[in-house]
A and B are shown apart, each in its own frame.
Chain A
Amino acid sequence: MIRYLIRRLLWAGVLFIAVTIVTYVIFFIIPADPARLAVGQRATPESVARARHFLGLDKPVPVQYALFLKRLVIDRSLGRSFTNRQDVNTVVLNAAPITASVVLGGVILWMAIALPIGILSALRPRSLLDRSSMVFVLIGISAPVVWIGLILQYSIGYKLGWTPNAGYCNLLNGQGGCGGPIDWAYHLILPWTTFAILFAAIYVRMIRANVMDTMNEDYVRTARAKGAPEAQVMRSHVLRNALLPVVTMLGMDIGIALGGAIFTETIFGLPGLGKLAVQSLESFDLPMIEGVVVFSTLCIIIFNLIVDVLYAVIDPRIRLS
């Protein structure tokens, strides 16, 4: 187990370096000059050069990358924004809880939808529930997240006025008359729903297929031959096995979901990491982009690590091999 963990951690390090390098390379391929953007359109060449030196952009790209790594590892700092000199650490850490709220709430919501519907449709294939859930799945998979978000915002938020259209309230301490768990959840209902629909649809299908497959397994027949009641067969023999792959998928999809948060946050005006990434991209703010990338990479790596370890705990076959 320890050796496995060490190997995983080393691999995570390699992955981290690779992702940050790719971000650097892509950034410098884009034909834009952050220094010029920083000083404004009518700046003299001298001030542009000064800005370039000040931002460290006059050094070769590998040196810049090395400096970035050094800053990150030794000072644990992601640097300062090119555009407004804000501390990247602070900005990213302020945005992170918002994205975390959207993603984690979304995950809980989508699993809360997908688990019961997936299991019930597997138990009653071709039933009304099964067929209507398949319609939901088709809509969920085909409709773009952005469209779903806008439709929800228009119909439920604007026309019906049941929920706020946009904005975010802190979970713990409120500011400006809005805050606390109730306001927090109230503002996030629409983003969560938007976010959950696509994944819930995919998961309903996956859970349904897994449960149906598992029900045909020989060991399920063995359990019935032992005289086990149906509820016990389902709980202890079918679901336990059918949901193993779902755990893996969930670990991977949380990474994908972080990417999906960009759309949701933009639609609902949530100042999270997704929105931050879009803003920084528009202003060619490399430290800020790197900050978001570094942070999300770390999150994904940690999530995958947790899932792998969890998987080894719940599936005895993994432990020894």
Chain B
Amino acid sequence: MALLEVRDLKTHFLTDDGIVKAVDGVSFSIEKGKTLGIVGESGCGKSVTCLSIMGLNPRKMSTTTGEALFKGENLINASSKRLREIRGNDIAMIFQDPMTSLNPVHKIGDQLAEAILLHRDVTKRQARARAAELLKAVQIPRAERRLDDYPHQFSGGMRQRVMIAMALVNDPDLLIADEPTTALDVTTQAQILNLMNKLQEEFGSAIIMITHDLGVVAEVADDIVVMYAAKIVEQAPVDDLFKRPHHPYTWGLLGSLPRLDTDVDRLVQIPGSPPSLLNPPVGCRFNPRCAYVFDRCKSELPELEPVPGIADHFQACFLDEQTKERENEKLQAGSLAGGTA
């Protein structure tokens, strides 16, 4: 049984302008100890997917349907009491911006201890000792002394380490990291990613890594889900996705990565901007921005289907295999042409 299996997850927000379908029928699963990367542009529904799994969407204005089976237990219709037991204990979360994710008026040690005391029947002193242990595990120097410091006395990278420590404090089975490195500078990013890799080996948690940066998932993920406009457009093991991407949107994402091994005058970009989820395009949601669009794309919504001959690779695009093969070769050569320059 998969550790977490998400089936047909839909999250809709009721706004003054209408219903925003932020997540529209998303399915994926993650095994114990593995890392799943969820990739996509801002606003494609990656974060909302994870917040929905955790039951952290603002309740009144949102509806979530579908299933999120965590060890066989559906979290979507779980009671809020049960969700509180799971949150921070079985599933923990790291957020994007470490500068604002820690409470400025509480000491780091108290914030870590709070996470422990909520789920474990231990004394304050034991919780504090555990907090110090975790700060050491995330390589914060002079950990014991820093327990009494406030968040503003830490740098961004150090604060993200604190967030990671806080997430790992109860040995969660699943760690959801929502763009954990986006707000950090590049050298710090690498440190944090290495640290997460190392801690994953040590703690054995599965990780869902949400990011818009394919470079990040290439480094850490076992499987990748590519999301576009609230839907999954491609899903594959990491090597296969980089070797044989099947969706024009994935090509665009890969093409827009800066590369050092080829001579490119300018970076490739995906033209246009992500569609409004209030009123998404008819047919394939990527069709207004796609260089390979043809009539069928504008009327019919492609379903996620297995790629013939490759296990665990799914894609949602009507293009024929030959075209894909050809474009893929071009992409691998570092010169994706088709209208994206």
Contact = CB atoms under 8 A, between A and B. Distances in A.
Contact of A320 (B87, B92, B153): B153
A317 B101 contact: no
B213 interface: no
Contact of B103 (A223, A227, A229, A314): A223
Contacts of A217: 100
**Contact residues on A (Cβ < 8 Å of other chain), bracket:** 20 to 34
A221 B105 contact: no
Contact of B119 (A223, A227, A241, A315): A227
Contacts of A7: none
A227 B150 contact: no
Contact of A241 (B54, B86, B93, B105): B105
Given A316-B152, A317-B152, A320-B153, A222 B102 contact: yes
B52 to A, nearest CB: 13
B118 A227 contact: yes
Contacts of A317: 104-105, 150, 152
Contacts of B166: 222, 226
B80 to A, nearest CB: 8
Interface string B30-73: 00000000000000000000000010100000000000000000
B104 A316 contact: yes
A228 interface: yes
B105 A218 contact: no
B85 interface: yes
A229 B153 CA distance: 28
B95 A222 contact: yes
Interface string A256-296: 00000000000000000000000000000000000000000
B101 A229 contact: no
A237 interface: yes
B93 A225 contact: yes
A218 B95 contact: yes
Interface in B76-92: 84-89, 92
B97 interface: yes
Interface in B271-326: none
Contacts of A218: 95, 97, 100-101
Given A221-B56, A223-B103, A226-B118, A316 B150 contact: yes
Contacts of A53: none
Interface in B137-154: 150, 152-153
Contacts of B198: none
B259 interface: no
B330 interface: no
A154 interface: no
B115 interface: yes
Interface in A224-242: 224-229, 236-237, 240-241
Contacts, number: 77
A225 B88 contact: yes
A218 B103 CA distance: 8
Contact of B87 (A225, A240, A241, A244): A225
B91 to A, nearest CB: 9
Given A226-B114, A227-B89, A315 B105 contact: yes
B243 interface: no
Interface in A294-318: 314-317
Nearest to B54: A225
A71 B7 CA distance: 84
Given A225-B88, A229-B84, A236 B100 contact: no
A219 interface: yes
Contacts of B100: 217-219
A45 B104 CA distance: 70
Nearest to B119: A227
B106 interface: yes
A236 B114 CA distance: 10
B95 A316 contact: no
Contacts of A316: 104-105, 107, 150, 152
A225 B118 CA distance: 11
Given A219-B100, A221-B56, A227 B152 contact: no
Nearest to A222: B101
B122 to A, nearest CB: 15
Given A316-B150, A317-B104, A320-B152, 12 more contacts: A219-B101, A221-B56, A221-B95, A222-B95, A222-B102, A222-B103, A224-B87, A225-B88, A227-B118, A227-B119, A314-B105, A317-B152
Interface of A: 217-219, 221-229, 236-237, 240-241, 244, 314-317, 320
15 contacts: A218-B97, A219-B103, A222-B101, A222-B102, A225-B56, A226-B87, A226-B92, A226-B166, A227-B84, A228-B88, A228-B114, A236-B114, A237-B103, A241-B104, A317-B105
